[in-house]
A and B are shown apart, each in its own frame.
Chain A
């Protein structure tokens, strides 16, 4: 017993001794508490890990600024040659074409490190703005612009290089004028342009220092505008071998025993995230000096689950676990349990609605035999349940339902998973439907607006039709039939009386309801008349018009359009005539009447002439009849409304007695 005890104490002491002995061997006692990430941070350009081409691309962009920042003397021969080629005429400071650099890539690959090292390498001092700072629009004015304009930091001779980290989290987005991104873009181009125009030196200083922006998600909505103005450099995951080699070096430096398999697993789980690898290793080190695969597994559980994208999730739902993926996740391929794995994955991807739509769009494409559709019925039951729950969650704000949502989608796995099945595609039908619906709603809206104007003119007549379901269900289809009678394109003077009545009625209805034919050129350059608002989309399903509705010919539409114009003018004049009768026939009334009457008529006539000059061409390329028709109509219209021209002499200048005088008095 005693011997045993003393032996154990002895071993303990030995271990302690060993530990004390190893401690001083470490680089520096002070930094032993520091994160390995900081300790093994590369300090020089050549120490950077990853794709050298990317690094050089960034460096060369920064170097392009040399001419502007350090002046001509410092620019090297090669750079100057480049400037002479294309820079001289485009930019007086010989700056690169894109004034911003946008680095994008998943976290932990060293984007920020690269930016700082490149800055130091090229002789700049980095000035960093990141997520810990407020990033509203006024940061640009308060901090970035002063830093850029002073050119260097206080107490330093080096020029400044602005690094904006984590820019995809910037507030305000790019769409509104007050947003951070918007301001940033203005910083780059607005000012130099202004300068070029006005030549003011005090107000408009061009951007003279490089700016590097860093983001994770290049396609974040807030970056949409920025992408067009920036040179984009993408980071991709470096080859696993490089990372493993570097990790092994570090392990050796830290006196850790790490086998290659463990490190490979670590890199695989971290998906190339070097920072994550280092942090994990450091954590393991604090427990043990040996690193094995199982330890890595247990330490990294759940580390990267948030990374699965919507498409990955979809494919996991519809196909059984692949060997590679199983290995990545560290489970056996034939693992029977799937619910927790899949539900976690679905929750993790963040866009559960999109996954649901993806399931919906994909499930019917799978052709496993299903005699009575029972699988499909079940699948649809689940998706309806999902919709029910998410609908309730949204409308009643019952967000405690959220954790259960994913389970209704997991059900697709046992129902539809199939090896070697077609890959799920990015769902798009739903979005197309959404945009189409929006367009159609707008058309309905404008039709309802037309009806309302008609209603206010005719004493409230049509107002009942502008209500929602009536408009779509009854008015839209029948209105289309009413306004497309079988008219023949003939001269309006030789038209038969029956057809003339039809035409008159058609014109009347269309004029009342504010429907017009608008002349346009189609993509072949042919003139066409388009209905405005385009209510004919409501009889068009699958791109085909209803069978019983003939598309009216160009000539017919031309005829109708002209008649409508004539009628509108006539009505206008009539209305004015009425108001003129009512108001005091003194200056004010007369003036407006005169102006309104004379001008549109003149304009109308001019426009008519232009239309005739354009000479509409029919299907065979011949000029067509309505030319005469039209002229005669225009003439008729003009004949019908003989306008009185009134003219006022020196209005408002004279204090003498005012009196309306006919033009004929002067002639």
Chain B
């Protein structure tokens, strides 16, 4: 037995609850014998990995579920050791190259070459190629993506790639054009409700109607989150009646909201320092800085005047872009905070005070 989110994950394409059109297409592709490289993209928690697993099952049969997980060590030219976790079956291999940050090119080249240059040994295998699944393909560096380009064509006879990404915008165009793009959209609220009901039914309890809709609405299209929330709620108060229910947000989110409130409440150097300690706290909990900035900005925008919203978001985007280029995330986060405070003050005074300070 395990967490519901894993226990009730559909194993095959037939078990999926939504996007039936997509499932049919995947099934047809797997049966056609002419399987292309694929790129699955869509928001987090929409079911990309589930669909990839289903497709693999369709392609190779049960053997693909016999996996082993191991850690492989790569050595960089500078003699640094990199550990990469690799999930492997006889027919496919999965890994997340972005685990090793800037060295992902090395890992990709190594693994792909190894896979591509050996043919399928198993004579009983349904397909004569192996599949390489690359998770978080949008986090790949430029170099790594460039390394993919040529191999994708060269070793087509021995290997197919399945990329999994949140958005296609960070993938270079040559890769996009070499793949069949599969968009996995987030499930609608109704679809999520059916899944939640399905889980509840199989776990042997019933959820009140409004609780289901509450959870589904709160998850915002992230089914994994919805099921985790359901299980957490069930653990916390087993009767699940909507009156006694408050859906807990993840703690980092609550904390981000607190920071946003602080920014709106007061604009002073002392407050900047307070906000900074809070930002440090968030970053030290390994919350990605982009997410931090986005969550805070969303919350700030909710609370300020209409005229300011566009500006705040504009600057958030600018500082986010700079943050990616720079080294120290905290500088850029705080720069944005200061900028927002300044905008807010300008708006509050409704006059341009710049001239007075000089």
Contact = CB atoms under 8 A, between A and B. Distances in A.
Interface string A442-470: 00100000001011101111111011111
Given A380-B334, A546-B251, A474 B273 contact: no
B276 A482 contact: no
A472 B284 contact: no
B338 A485 contact: no
Interface of B: 1-3, 6-7, 9, 44-45, 49, 65-69, 85, 87, 94, 96, 98-99, 102, 135-136, 222, 224-225, 228-229, 231-232, 235-238, 246, 248, 250-252, 254-255, 267, 269-270, 272-273, 276-278, 280-288, 291, 319, 322, 325-328, 330-332, 334-335, 338-339, 341-342, 345-346, 349, 353-354, 356-357
Nearest to A462: B6
Contacts of A466: 85
Contact of A441 (B1, B286, B332): B286
Given A376-B338, A388-B325, A472 B269 contact: no
A112 to B, nearest CB: 38
14 contacts: A372-B342, A376-B338, A377-B339, A380-B331, A384-B332, A437-B286, A454-B2, A460-B65, A460-B87, A462-B2, A472-B252, A472-B285, A481-B248, A541-B252
Contacts of A444: 286
B136 A467 contact: yes
B228 A478 contact: yes
B317 to A, nearest CB: 14
Contacts of B283: 433, 437
**6 nearest A-B pairs in the assembled complex, by CB-CB distance:** A373-B342, A481-B232, A380-B335, A477-B250, A478-B228, A387-B326
Given A372-B354, A373-B342, A381 B267 contact: no
A589 to B, nearest CB: 23
A429 B353 contact: no
Nearest to B291: A473
Contacts of B98: 468
Given A376-B272, A391-B326, A437-B284, A383 B335 contact: yes
A236 B23 CA distance: 79
A372 B345 contact: yes
A24 B235 CA distance: 102
A538 B44 contact: no
A357 B330 CA distance: 10
A390 interface: yes
A538 B251 contact: yes
A360 interface: yes
B307 to A, nearest CB: 16
A380 B335 CA distance: 5
A443 to B, nearest CB: 9
B335 A486 contact: no
Contacts of A371: 345, 349, 353, 356-357
A82 interface: no
Contacts, number: 209
B357 A485 contact: no
A433 B284 contact: yes
A374 interface: yes
A547 to B, nearest CB: 9
Contacts of A365: 269, 273
Contact of B252 (A380, A477, A548): A477
A371 B341 CA distance: 11
Contacts of B341: 373, 376
Contacts of A367: 269
A485 B69 CA distance: 31
Given A462-B2, A541-B252, 19 more contacts: A376-B341, A379-B338, A380-B334, A380-B335, A380-B339, A384-B332, A387-B328, A388-B325, A390-B327, A437-B284, A459-B67, A461-B9, A467-B96, A468-B99, A472-B287, A473-B291, A476-B250, A478-B229, A502-B235
Given A364-B276, A478-B229, A538 B338 contact: no
B345 A460 contact: no
Interface stretch (A179-187, A275-283, A506-514): A506-514
Given A388-B326, A512-B2, A502 B238 contact: yes
Contact of A440 (B269, B284, B356): B284
Given A364-B273, A372-B353, A381-B335, A548 B267 contact: no
A530 to B, nearest CB: 19
B269 A463 contact: no
Given A364-B272, A376-B338, A486-B236, A452 B250 contact: no
A261 interface: no
A345 B231 CA distance: 60
Nearest to A388: B326
Nearest to B225: A474
A133 interface: no
Which of A430, A472, A482, A505 counts the most B-chain CB atoms under 10 A from its CB?
A482
A272 B233 CA distance: 71
B65 A387 contact: no
Given A436-B284, A468-B99, A538-B285, A429 B272 contact: no
Contact of A455 (B69, B255, B330, B339): B69
Contacts of A651: none
A433 B280 contact: yes
Contact of B342 (A357, A376, A429, A541): A376
A394 interface: yes
Interface string A492-529: 00000010001001101100110000000000000000
Contacts of A388: 322, 325-326
A576 B295 CA distance: 49
